[in-house]
Chains A and B, each alone.
Chain A
């Protein structure tokens, strides 16, 4: 592998691994907060048990989220020193403020986990709320750096030197709000669906065995589906705004996402298929006429720029079309799924979910996580060849140190070990502490 590709793969793998735990680190605290509040409202002990068990889960997951995040932060300087030099001069604010968010999260997470039995219910709710604020804050702030890479602002380059730095203008760069919002709501959605998935699988397992256990998981499933449903709609609405952001600021990324070669009005939206450069179209796609024009600017006669309007060397890789489709497809599917669940339970008033539906709920969480991965790889790879759009190429930012291969192998191995270990530890812990015992009050 050539040097640049190795560096990109290395950083991409780090991020792809971190994002799993980071997303849950934002999404699950919201679910814990919901169950704490429900417990205070209903005094139903099941919700207290849910909060406790999810807290154990998140405490284990943070054991990976935090070190991999630390790797990400340091690796940025190690692998992309050229990029970080610009960031240091212009865009250090979000990183700085993020450190405070980390402190808030770390302090109150420890308090919530290790002092839960010594503090009042109000302080418990305050603590978990602060955990949520800290985690959400770190996600929003780091996403701001990503937003800046796509829509840089707050400085000029003159004769190779950075001048006229305005750190707050860089902070409030044009795509900050939309991008950060998208990441936040998609994390809430993913956390909720992951909870719903686990509950659904547990329901299938406990159906014939224990009424109490079954009911417990049923409550968790409904909570997951409600929260997941709300936020999947929010994610789609906001995703629409993200796409319009691309239309305004990174048109070649949108063109690559949709495999559009010729600039045109009434542009169609291509769903599925793959982009063929030779044939200048998306093969095997299902086309929604006028769809892309409408998506870009809410009007059918909007002119959308095609790839051929840009120099070939500035094109992003064309496979991003598939990633974009994957994300949007899963998002739409999950909205549909929430609606089905809601209709089944509230409108048809059926008390039990059939087995097949539970199985579908069971894959909702993993699908949602997959969507997050697709979205990020799309966002980062679709920005290529730029690390800062139209300002710095990725190739200019990469470290000059060679010999990345061996390090890459080591990082891969460590992620593999950590990934397997975390799954085993969670399985082990919950096998040893089954919910049935907690429901009978055998565990303190």
Chain B
């Protein structure tokens, strides 16, 4: 395996982890906003109990992606940095409003509602803008003017391909987060909230699958190179759809404590997204930005790559116990999960 291939796999791994964690994170913020007026259920406080300790850790992954991109593929970072000035800035602005107001909403109780609305809505928009980076790399939206790359914004925001990605991002955000929160509320014995989130997952799941199908349809005409490559790895896509069906089975299995096994559903859904994004990533190669930047043309100095790669191994080996301790305290500790009122 070439160094460039290892590097893109590491980067893809970060993107996948961030995609899953961030959809859950932004979605949880959105649900905590939606259910804030339902005093009788704890749906909002369940969402907050998940969100409060995790948003900071999730945020580090986006930094890890940006750093990984310019350390491994400085050439690609140059092109993307030039092209993404405006969408990137919009994401940054939304992200800072979202994170800061999320924190503020926990501390200024009188204004909790309005602060939660601001962070919920801005968080809901972020995935929509973030995902636009993907279709932009498919080619066709970048003009070369006087030797420099420029993004053609009007063609981006009139493209059905871009909108199918946006639809997919929003529906997936809602789907993944409601599933996760369903699981989280069941473990916490919050059965009212469990029912609500299970219902939400049942509604948003099929929508997100439909959006996925839309993406394939628009891709066929707008990025046929990618479509052809994806059709060569059909097996992964079919596997992904099977996992989706299993998720639904899992949500209907009768169990001792209420209908459905949300933990199983979370796992099959993550596998579903894993398979689909593997197929996508593999088909995207060797291009990072079609058709001028490939993983080879934009690759860093081999010596620098080696040094960075070693720090990855050492760094994550050292960090692993920290992640484990964190997980134990917030995802497993029943006392924490059952705490009735969010403090």
Contact of A118 among B57, B80, B329 (CB under 8 A): B329
Nearest-Cβ distance from residue A49 to partner chain B, whole angstroms = 17
Q: Does A336 belong to the interface (CB within 8 Å)?
A: no
> In the complex, are the beta carbons of A96 and B330 less than 8 A apart?
no
> In the complex, are the beta carbons of B53 and A114 less than 8 A apart?
yes
Which of A199-207, A364-372, A418-426 binds B?
Answer: A418-426
> In the complex, are the beta carbons of B304 and A67 less than 8 A apart?
no
Which of A104-112, A232-240, A316-324, A347-355 binds B?
Answer: A104-112
Q: Does A439 belong to the interface (CB within 8 Å)?
A: no
> In the complex, are the beta carbons of B303 and A165 less than 8 A apart?
yes
- Name which residue of chain A comes closest to B102, CB basis: A63
Given contacts A63-B103, A78-B85, A108-B322, contact A411 B304 (CB under 8 A): no
**Residues B152-196 near A (CB distance < 8 A):** none
- Produce 1/0 per residue, A39-64, CB < 8 A to B: 00000000000000000100110111
CA distance A113 to B326 in the complex (A): 12
Contact of A60 among B57, B104, B311, B315 (CB under 8 A): B104
Which of A68-76, A294-302, A382-390 binds B?
Answer: A68-76
- Produce 1/0 per residue, A413-439, CB < 8 A to B: 010011001101100110010000000
Given contacts A77-B81, A102-B60, A104-B319, contact A414 B308 (CB under 8 A): no
Query: Which one of B64, B66, B67 has the highest number of Cβ atoms from chain A below 10 Å of its Cβ?
Result: B67
CA distance A368 to B112 in the complex (A): 33
Given contacts A85-B77, A118-B336, A399-B81, contact A418 B100 (CB under 8 A): yes
> In the complex, are the beta carbons of A90 and B329 less than 8 A apart?
no
> In the complex, are the beta carbons of B93 and A110 less than 8 A apart?
no
CA distance A100 to B52 in the complex (A): 21
Nearest-Cβ distance from residue A428 to partner chain B, whole angstroms = 5
> In the complex, are the beta carbons of B56 and A96 less than 8 A apart?
no
A contact residues around B303 at 8 Å (CB): 165-167
Nearest-Cβ distance from residue A417 to partner chain B, whole angstroms = 8
- Name which residue of chain A comes closest to B301, CB basis: A165
Number of interface residues, chain A, beta carbon within 8 A: 73
Contact of B56 among A66, A81, A403 (CB under 8 A): A66
- Name which residue of chain A comes closest to B99, CB basis: A67
> In the complex, are the beta carbons of B96 and A111 less than 8 A apart?
no
A contact residues around B89 at 8 Å (CB): 75, 78, 407, 410-411
A contact residues around B77 at 8 Å (CB): 77, 81, 84-85, 88
Q: Does A162 belong to the interface (CB within 8 Å)?
A: yes
CA distance A98 to B102 in the complex (A): 25
**Residues B312-335 near A (CB distance < 8 A):** 312, 315-316, 318-319, 322-323, 325-326, 329-330, 333, 335
CA distance A428 to B105 in the complex (A): 12
Nearest-Cβ distance from residue B197 to partner chain A, whole angstroms = 22
> In the complex, are the beta carbons of A60 and B322 less than 8 A apart?
no
Nearest-Cβ distance from residue A77 to partner chain B, whole angstroms = 4
> In the complex, are the beta carbons of B307 and A167 less than 8 A apart?
yes
> In the complex, are the beta carbons of A399 and B311 less than 8 A apart?
no
Which of B68-76, B219-227, B230-238 binds A?
Answer: B68-76
Nearest-Cβ distance from residue B116 to partner chain A, whole angstroms = 14
Q: Does A115 belong to the interface (CB within 8 Å)?
A: yes
Q: Does A337 belong to the interface (CB within 8 Å)?
A: no
- Name which residue of chain B comes closest to A410, CB basis: B93
- Name which residue of chain A comes closest to B107, CB basis: A429
> In the complex, are the beta carbons of A99 and B85 less than 8 A apart?
no
A contact residues around B103 at 8 Å (CB): 59-60, 62-63
> In the complex, are the beta carbons of B75 and A85 less than 8 A apart?
yes
> In the complex, are the beta carbons of A115 and B329 less than 8 A apart?
yes
> In the complex, are the beta carbons of B57 and A96 less than 8 A apart?
no
> In the complex, are the beta carbons of B81 and A99 less than 8 A apart?
no
B contact residues around A66 at 8 Å (CB): 56, 59, 99
CA distance A81 to B85 in the complex (A): 10
CA distance A75 to B63 in the complex (A): 12
> In the complex, are the beta carbons of B304 and A165 less than 8 A apart?
yes
Q: Does A87 belong to the interface (CB within 8 Å)?
A: yes
> In the complex, are the beta carbons of A110 and B304 less than 8 A apart?
no
> In the complex, are the beta carbons of B104 and A421 less than 8 A apart?
yes
Given contacts A67-B96, A104-B322, contact A56 B78 (CB under 8 A): no
Contact of B304 among A85, A92, A113 (CB under 8 A): A92
CA distance A400 to B85 in the complex (A): 10
- Name which residue of chain B comes closest to A88, CB basis: B74
Nearest-Cβ distance from residue B279 to partner chain A, whole angstroms = 28
Q: Does A93 belong to the interface (CB within 8 Å)?
A: yes
Q: Does B36 belong to the interface (CB within 8 Å)?
A: no
Q: Does B2 belong to the interface (CB within 8 Å)?
A: no
CA distance A313 to B64 in the complex (A): 38
A contact residues around B229 at 8 Å (CB): none
A contact residues around B56 at 8 Å (CB): 62, 66, 106, 109-110
B contact residues around A285 at 8 Å (CB): none
CA distance A262 to B172 in the complex (A): 66
Q: Does A97 belong to the interface (CB within 8 Å)?
A: yes
- Name which residue of chain A comes closest to B302, CB basis: A165
Q: Does A283 belong to the interface (CB within 8 Å)?
A: no
B contact residues around A403 at 8 Å (CB): 86
Q: Does A401 belong to the interface (CB within 8 Å)?
A: yes
B contact residues around A410 at 8 Å (CB): 89, 93
**Residues A127-168 near B (CB distance < 8 A):** 130, 162, 165-168
Given contacts A84-B77, A100-B315, contact A111 B326 (CB under 8 A): yes
Q: Which residues of B contact A (CB under 8 A)?
A: 52-54, 56-57, 59-60, 62-64, 66-75, 77-78, 80-86, 88-89, 92-93, 95-104, 107-111, 148-151, 300-301, 303-304, 307-308, 311-312, 315-316, 318-319, 322-323, 325-326, 329-330, 333, 335-336
Q: Top 9 closest A-B pairs, CB basis?
A: A88-B74, A63-B103, A92-B71, A67-B96, A81-B81, A110-B53, A77-B81, A400-B148, A106-B56
Beyond A100-B311, A410-B93, A429-B107, 16 additional contacts (C-beta under 8 Å) are: A59-B107, A60-B103, A67-B95, A70-B63, A78-B88, A79-B85, A81-B78, A87-B70, A97-B311, A100-B319, A107-B326, A111-B325, A118-B336, A119-B329, A401-B83, A428-B110
30 contacts between A and B (CB under 8 A): A63-B102, A67-B95, A68-B96, A69-B63, A74-B66, A78-B84, A78-B85, A79-B85, A84-B77, A84-B81, A85-B70, A85-B77, A87-B74, A88-B74, A92-B67, A92-B304, A93-B307, A95-B67, A107-B326, A110-B52, A114-B52, A114-B53, A114-B330, A115-B329, A162-B301, A166-B303, A401-B85, A418-B97, A425-B107, A425-B108
